[in-house]
Amino acid sequence: MSDENTRKQAMLLPSRRVLLQVSLLGVAGAALGAESGCGAIRFDIGQAVPEQRVMGSALGALLGAFLPSPFALTVNLEQETKARGTGPAQSAGLKALSFRLTNVPNPPRSSDNFDFVDRVEIFVESAKSGSSLSKQKIADLLTVPRGVTTLNLQCYPMVDLVPYINEGARISSTASGKTPPQDVTFDGQITIEIRV
């Protein structure tokens, strides 16, 4: 190989190196751009769970529902995104769901807890008549710990709540356990992550 060819190749190597760096920067930039697209802006909104009352019974009948009064999910997506100056919500998922006893006397009785329930499943469904949306499980607690006065459920954030909210979402439940010996009241808190 001649000295002239060696010198030309040496001059080309930095150019190839520069091209490689530029192309790597382009790939990294494209990846960052893709990540900043749909769902990159996220924010949480909360809603209180209205107080629920499970009627007590000395007979300890089977418990059919954890939420005796299904309730509406009253999220106004347009208002929430507008208040934050973002575009429309692309999706939304349940981030957290908790319940806490509200009728605990001071001092508490040994039965002032969630021991009456063994398992809880929470669902979302459309309130719109004739909707094509199916009822979906959004949270559960398959084994309720003994002696607790607060429940933190396992949530399924990948269930998109936007179509349900747009049709009027209703939250319902199923449960296994036995009715408590005396009435139990509880409320709670829902946290929904909105993805723009």
Question: So what's the pLDDT on residue 189?
Answer: 98
Render each residue's pLDDT in the chain as its tens digit; 196 residues: 555 555 555 544 455 544 444 444 444 443 333 344 455 799 999 999 999 999 988 887 899 899 999 999 999 999 999 999 998 999 999 999 999 999 877 777 767 899 999 999 999 999 999 999 999 999 999 999 999 999 999 999 999 999 999 999 999 999 999 999 889 999 999 999 999 9
Question: So what's the pLDDT on residue 35?
Answer: 40
Question: So what's the pLDDT on residue 60?
Answer: 79
Question: So what's the pLDDT on residue 152?
Answer: 98
CATH of domain 42-195: 2.60.120
Question: So what's the pLDDT on residue 27?
Answer: 40
Question: So what's the pLDDT on residue 26?
Answer: 44
- Give the total residue count for the chain: 196
Question: So what's the pLDDT on residue 5?
Answer: 53
Q: What is the pTM of this model?
A: 0.77
Among 192, 99, 101, CA closest to 153: 99
Question: So what's the pLDDT on residue 4?
Answer: 56
Q: What torsion, rounded to 10 degrees, do the Cα atoms 13, 15, 19, 22 define?
A: 120
Q: Is 88 exposed, middle or buried (0-12, 13-18, 19+ CB in 10 A)?
A: exposed
